[in-house]
Structure 1
Amino acid sequence: MSLINEFLISGILLGFASGISPGPLLTMTISESLKHGSRAGIKVAVSPFITDILIVSMILLFLLKFENYDPAIAMISLGGSFYLIYLGISSLRTKSSDLDLETKKSDSLKKGIIVNFLSPHPYLFWIAIGGPILFKAQDTSIFSAILFVIGFYALLVGSKITIAMLVGRSRGFLKSNYYLYTIRSLGLVYVVFAFYFLKQGLELLN
């Protein structure tokens, strides 16, 4: 039982750390919450439930079957960098007239899915950290592995949902200029992550 608790606690701690760490998905959660309200931010926050089924399956296959997965991660990083540049430019070009977006379709869940698929973060996490822990947990019992996964995603998604709710509720207290500058600042964050992913992808290819 102590080992089972250990895997659950490990999942909770890693999930919380990943959930609140700066990254493209957290940036988009805040951005969509500001633009469209908490509901849109929550849609972004829950996107790992959809994307990570395939991502984790791919990573476990890589770990079991392949010795060199750097080229695959490199291509994911490069694709993600271009998409983040697009998102960053869109945010930087936001004008005051664009701020009233309540009636517009946000496609927040779709955006979250694309960003998470193209971000190297979940792939690198499951290759370097999550995969080995999951294999170790499975050696103990399948229940241990399940507890690790539940603990990880409960905190990964739960922390982002909490942030989305807090940001969404603060919208009414934001003056228009602050709102505009925040959206544009998030655009800069997107661009920073884009260049980081581009650098990472090129390094893996070399």
Structure 2
Amino acid sequence: MWIEIILFAAASFWVGFSGAMVPGPMLTVTISDSLKKGFRAGPLVVLGHVIAETALIILLIMGLGWVIGSPTVTMIIGGIGGAMLIYIGYSIARSPVPDELPGDGEPIEKRGSIISGIVTSVTNPYFYIWWATVGWAFMLKGIELAGIIGVLSFLVGHWSSDLSWYSLVSFFTSKGRHVLPGKRYRVMMMVCGVFLVFLGLYFIYSTLIV
């Protein structure tokens, strides 16, 4: 049985990339925070994401999974989520160029990245779509395989893929920030911010108009 559990965790790890590697608000925030704060921003954003997913899993276990498929809830999430992404994107686009980028050993403001991870997760309609389909199917398979142990093996594999991908993105972004002084830094932040604004507008359009 333990071999099956290990293989299930490995499968969960690779399937987790189906959500982690899709370009979206969480990736954009990871890049922008890594430019400002360094490598540790990536894992902190993932921590916020894990908090959001844990809350969603609890709701699913409590029998509130029908909420995810509710058109009304989808419209509310799309509207509020889109507005939040527009606000975050606007804030990032207006970020001033720092006089000096923090070194890898210097303390950073942690709360902002964790909250960004939570916000970019819960305001993204595709976050719920993934959990209503792929995520929930793996949860049920884990229960069938080994009960709570199977569920935990899925979560370990899934969260490991998130942590691996966003840590990798954060690492290379933070290493490149030292070659992004002045205008180049400003352009990068503008690109991240504008992308989030357009993504927010798309969320609003796709959920409220279509």
- TM-score computed with the length of structure 2 as normaliser: 0.83
Structure 1 gap ranges (5+): none
Note if contact 2:67-2:73 (Cα within 8 Å) is conserved in structure 1. no
Q: Structure 1 residues 66, 160: closer, same or farther in 2, change over 3 A? A: closer
CA RMSD of aligned residues (A): 2.6
- 2:64 match: secondary structure: helix
Structure 1 equivalent of residue 163 of structure 2: 157
Cα deviation code 1:90-135 (max 9, x no counterpart): 2333444x56575985722222222222222321111011112211
Note if contact 1:56-1:123 (Cα within 8 Å) is conserved in structure 2. no
- 1:177 match: secondary structure: helix
Rounded to whole Å, the distance in 2 between the matches of 1:67 and 1:155 is 23
Matching of residues 36-51 of structure 1 within 5 Å: 36-51=37-52
Q: Structure 1 residues 62, 85: closer, same or farther in 2, change over 3 A? A: same
Cα deviation code 1:187-206 (max 9, x no counterpart): 11101210221123226xx7
Structure 2 equivalent of residue 28 of structure 1: 29
Structure 2 gap ranges (5+): none
The one of 125, 148, 152 equivalent to 1:120 is: 125
Note if contact 2:83-2:200 (Cα within 8 Å) is conserved in structure 1. yes
Structure 1 equivalent of residue 152 of structure 2: 146
Structure 2 equivalent of residue 178 of structure 1: 184
Q: Structure 1 residues 84, 66: closer, same or farther in 2, change over 3 A? A: closer
The amino acid across from 2:56 in the alignment is I
- 1:170 match: secondary structure: helix
- 1:21 match: secondary structure: coil
The amino acid across from 1:20 in the alignment is M
Rounded to whole Å, the distance in 2 between the matches of 1:166 and 1:140 is 38
Note if contact 1:59-1:123 (Cα within 8 Å) is conserved in structure 2. no
Note if contact 1:35-1:99 (Cα within 8 Å) is conserved in structure 2. no
Q: Structure 1 residues 189, 11: closer, same or farther in 2, change over 3 A? A: same
